A and B are shown apart, each in its own frame.
Chain A
Amino acid sequence: MKPSTRLSAAFCKPNPALVCFLTAGDSDTAANLDALVEGGADVIELGMPFTDPMADGPAIQNANIRALGNGTTTAQVFAIAASFRERHPDVPLVLMGYANPMVRRGSEWFAAQCKAAGIDGVICVDIPPEEDEALGPALRAAGIAPIRLATPTTDAKRLPAVIEGSEGFLYYVSVAGITGKQQAAQTSIEEAVARLKAATDLPVAVGFGIRTPEQAGAVAKVADGVVVGSALVELCAKHGADAPKAIRELTASLAEAVHSAR
């Protein structure tokens, strides 16, 4: 299946999509990713570990440290993605991370590796639209969706620039802050999603601070997708080699809440 097809198919289902994040190289990533799929995740976000994850809270910071401490290389991140793609030909897979590991060997090299590994989209935290040429053109040429972030500080004047050149889905960062901390008020999420959906046809997924099935279900009433990261990453830290079972259970309860929200 083509990358664009896999991502759009995930958001074309009648129910909202559950997007689940784990850091590559943190405990047995392959088994943990399989647990996400078995639990009912619709889109997988694979974190590329980085020494300086400045948009992340303690849970994902520590996952980065564990992954790098395990000796995780860029080559291994792509190997994890490629083997996931073999096992799950139809589940969309998105890489999320920071600019430096992505551009280290050149954006064309990175885009080609993504394509070869069966990655559908890339979220880069620290490349805003103003610096798009650092990565965007290479990704688009390779058929990989550059997925942009919109935030509570993205005003009406900026929003068109954020949407322009964004593909796959629009990721709404629901709080001005770092991952895994406070959750935004439901009303502010509802207003923001309405504002974004009025400006674009792209599906809108909401993330940051969503940890429980109750929260996920509430957000899924208005959003096309719900992103959960830190709560899953914490299970890797807590359970180590036994994490798949806990991850499968949490994912299943999140999926039920998200899929039945509307």
Chain B
Amino acid sequence: MASQPNTYRNQPDERGHFGDYGGRYVAETLMPLVLDLEREYRKAQADPEFKREFDDLLEHYVGRPSPLYFAERLTEAVGGAQIWFKRDELNHTGAHKINNCIGQILLAIRMGKTRIIAETGAGQHGVATATVCARFGLPCVIYMGATDVARQQPNVFRMKLLGAEVVPVTSGRATLKDAMNEGLRDWVANVHDTFYIIGTAAGPHPYPELVRDFQSVIGKEARVQMQDRIGRLPDLLVAAIGGGSNALGLFHPFLDDPDVKMLGVEAAGHGLDGSEHAASLLGGFPGVLHGNRTYLLQDEDGQITEGHSISAGLDYPGIGPEHAWLKDTGRVEYTAVTDEEALEAFQLLCRTEGIIPALEPSHAIAAVAKRAKEMPKDSIILANLCGRGDKDIFTVAERLGVEM
């Protein structure tokens, strides 16, 4: 375990490193752009007008602050700690992804870029990107693995309605990582006018930092809301981890509160014993991919292996570099939940609270249910309900053997 820092909130360093992780592992063609982006982000951070515009859009366009909700019947059904949810599934477009897209498109406009590209897996980040591009009148190309295009048709149609061009990627296994490769290939060929809106807290510095900062609105609101409602901070924060942006958004503002424990939940797919999972931290090794050094699913030669999860949004063989660092320092605990457990939690939340969650936060809910039982009734768990489940009803129906 690495030595314990005085604060967990001053990462990354000036080179974009979170301890041994992160960095800027990109082709030379992209280096000047990545440096430009960092300069522009520093200027934006110091500009009150940027913050005003970001906050204004989050309030009036996204619908923030999102509610903090006490899940009374779920708490009763599970038996144990009080379970609270940060309701980011109520955001415009139905997930936390939009928070980041608003921030990045404002940066793109500041930089004078006139064309937006993005990658998407399940389609949530693609929809959020297409949404902000429509809002600001910028053309938008979304790269999506052909396999994902086939299994996420409703989101493909949403993106097209919003005016985006959706490009099916057939290289590799035709899923999220291949879409990201294709996004990088587009970017390298269109450096002069194109801004790449990366969907999670990964990629070359400064993406992991700025995505985290834009998503931190989740945790900042939750801190204030918790104090207002119950006069104290929660005992445990829980969030699902794919690339890790919703988890960092919730965790980061609490990292220096020693009494607040944190649990990140990876997708165990069919189980961590085999290769059919997407748990980069628990089942992977450090390596370099897509611009950063982090934990990756890979073989002994460093070839990247495919993740599996029932949730297409968790199905990525990497993880944001800050999570890699938080794991090694021990500040955040990581666990994994199988497809089966997530499906059970999905149904449990539907029936106890009248909320259909996305399959991503269903992983967090499954972990919450396990932990809550072991904690006293006066303790507080706060989980991030980072997306709504409308997009997943077809997948769930298939798994439950229901014809639609």
Which residues on A are within 8 Å of B, measured CB to CB?
A: 50-55, 57-58, 61, 65, 68, 73-74, 98-104, 125-128, 130-131, 134, 148-155, 158, 162, 173, 175-178, 181
Taking chain A's interface residues, is the majority helix, strand, or loop, or is none over half, making it mixed? Answer: loop
28 contacts between A and B (CB under 8 A): A50-B302, A52-B304, A54-B27, A55-B184, A58-B171, A98-B288, A99-B25, A100-B289, A100-B302, A103-B287, A103-B302, A104-B302, A126-B25, A128-B24, A128-B31, A130-B15, A130-B31, A153-B29, A153-B32, A154-B28, A154-B32, A158-B32, A173-B28, A176-B188, A176-B191, A177-B29, A177-B188, A178-B185
Decide if the interface of chain B is mainly helix, strand, loop or mixed.
Answer: mixed
Q: Are A152 and B29 in contact (CB under 8 A)?
A: yes
Q: Which residues of B are at the interface with A, using a C-beta cutoff of 8 A? A: 15, 23-33, 171-172, 177-178, 180-181, 184-185, 188-189, 191-192, 287-291, 293, 296, 298, 300-304
Assembled-state Cα–Cα distance A238/B188 (Å): 28
Interface pair A151/B29, CB less than 8 Å apart:
yes
Give the chain B neighbours of A154 by CB distance below 8 A. Answer: 28, 31-32
| A127→B31 CA distance, assembly (Å) | 10
Given contacts A65-B172, A126-B25, 13 further A-B contacts (CB under 8 A): A50-B302, A51-B172, A52-B304, A54-B180, A61-B171, A100-B302, A104-B287, A125-B27, A134-B23, A134-B288, A134-B293, A177-B29, A178-B189
Q: Are A176 and B32 in contact (CB under 8 A)?
A: no
Rounded to whole angstroms, the CA-CA distance of A211 and B33 in the bound complex is 28
A113, B193: Cα distance in complex, Å: 42
| In contact, A130 and B288 (Cβ under 8 angstroms) | no
Measured between beta carbons, the chain B residues less than 8 angstroms from A65 are: 171-172
Chain B, residue nearest A57 (CB): B185
* Shortest 6 CB-CB contacts between residues of A and residues of B: A104-B302, A177-B189, A101-B302, A99-B288, A100-B302, A54-B181
Give the shortest distance, in Å, between A153 (CB) and chain B (any CB): 5
Question: What is the bound-complex CA distance between A261 and B191, given in angstroms?
Answer: 32
Task: Output the least CB separation between A125 and chain B (Å).
Answer: 5
The minimal Cβ–Cβ distance linking B201 to chain A, given in whole angstroms, is 19
